């Protein structure tokens, strides 16, 4: 029971998905929150709580979860919720230009997350992976061979160019919500595409240091050891389907 919490999060209860990026900010902020759909059904939880939130009156209507409610504020879109929370809890610098830089990186991470999702849903978003497996193989081939390495090399270059970052922060000299999200993306990509990830990880010493640093934050490690944490699974964005992780060990496949 956390009904007195200042924040209510609405997200599908059976997968980490885009909700997990919001949870990591809330957990690192030490902000109590009510993860509404994770409550027992008899206590208002379940997917129905998410559906009801999408059509509820009051405030700006969201099109899709995650949705964060705080008093009269009702926000959607993962990067937007993360940025808004981070500004309230010291997880992004105060300066407007620095915040725009953080948002630039967060939106680029969101693009990578969307592409990782589309590997298993390339052509029909509202239907199962099983009805689009051949298209998924074609999408995933360019994802693991070209897009995944391109994005990760980009973030590594950003981290290496950040002279203040102690080799472990993407922006500035201290932890931001972008680091928390990067950590989750790195875990998700390694879970879903272990072979493709292994092929590029040697080029990413900065991102590996970032991931280890975030993993070791006391609040994050306590959260991930708690029953609040939802592990990756094959209903989420990052799914381990070996047929979509088919990289050629000698280089790009023909």
Residues within the interface to its own copies (CB under 8 A) = 60-63, 73, 75-77, 79-80, 83-84, 87, 96-97, 100-101, 103-105, 107-108, 114, 118, 122-127, 132, 135, 138-139, 142, 146-147, 150-151, 154, 157-158, 161, 171
Nearest to 147 by CA among 223, 247, 232, 66: 247
252 vs 246: CA distance, rounded Å: 10
Q: 18: part of which helix (H) or strand (E)? A: none
DSSP string, 182-221: HHHHHHHHHHH-HHHHHHHGGG-HHHHHHHHHHHTSHHHH
Shortest approach of its own copies to residue 235 CB, angstroms? 20
Cβ neighbours around 234 below 10 Å, total: 12
The whole-angstrom distance between residue 155's C-alpha and the CA centroid of its chain comes to: 15
Is the CB of 1 or the CB of 60 nearer to its own copies?
A: 60
Shortest approach of its own copies to residue 104 CB, angstroms? 5
Shortest approach of its own copies to residue 85 CB, angstroms? 10
Is the CB of 73 or the CB of 222 nearer to its own copies?
A: 73
Cβ neighbours around 116 below 10 Å, total: 24
CB contact set of 169 (below 8 Å; sequence gap of 6+): 159, 162, 175, 176, 179, 210
Radius of gyration of the chain (CA): 18
Is the CB of 46 or the CB of 122 nearer to its own copies?
A: 122
Is the CB of 135 or the CB of 190 nearer to its own copies?
A: 135
42 vs 27: CA distance, rounded Å: 25
Is the CB of 47 or the CB of 108 nearer to its own copies?
A: 108
Is the CB of 11 or the CB of 139 nearer to its own copies?
A: 139
Shortest approach of its own copies to residue 99 CB, angstroms? 9
Shortest approach of its own copies to residue 112 CB, angstroms? 9
Report the interhelical angle of 78-88 vs 177-192 (nearest 10°): 140
Shortest approach of its own copies to residue 152 CB, angstroms? 11
Contact 46, 13 (CB under 8 A): yes
Shortest approach of its own copies to residue 162 CB, angstroms? 9
Is the CB of 56 or the CB of 217 nearer to its own copies?
A: 56
């Amino acid at each position: 029971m956390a009904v007195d919490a200042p924040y209510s999060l609405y997200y599908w209860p059976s997968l980490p998905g885009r909700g997990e990026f919001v949870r990591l900010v809330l957990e690192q902020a030490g902000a109590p929150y009510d993860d509404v759909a994770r409550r027992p059904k008899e206590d208002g939880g379940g997917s129905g709580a998410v559906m009801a939130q999408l059509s509820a009156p009051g405030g700006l209507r969201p099109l899709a979860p995650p949705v964060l409610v705080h008093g009269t504020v009702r926000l959607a879109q993962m990067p937007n919720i993360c940025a808004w929370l981070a500004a309230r809890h010291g997880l992004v610098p105060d300066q407007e230009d620095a915040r725009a830089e953080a948002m630039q990186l967060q939106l680029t991470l969101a693009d990578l997350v969307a592409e990782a999702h589309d590997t298993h849903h390339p052509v029909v978003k509202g239907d199962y992976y099983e009805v689009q497996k051949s298209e998924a193989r074609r999408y995933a081939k360019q994802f693991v061979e070209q897009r995944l390495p391109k994005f990760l090399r980009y973030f590594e270059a950003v981290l290496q160019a950040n002279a203040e970052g102690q080799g472990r922060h993407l922006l500035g000299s201290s932890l931001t919500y972008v680091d928390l999200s990067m950590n989750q993306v790195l875990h998700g990509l390694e879970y879903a595409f272990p072979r493709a990830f292994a092929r590029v990880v040697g080029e990413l010493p900065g991102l590996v240091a970032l991931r280890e640093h975030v993993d070791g934050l006391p609040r994050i490690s306590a959260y991930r050891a708690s029953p609040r944490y939802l592990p990756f699974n094959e209903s989420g964005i990052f799914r381990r389907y070996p047929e979509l992780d088919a990289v050629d060990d000698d280089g790009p496949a023909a």
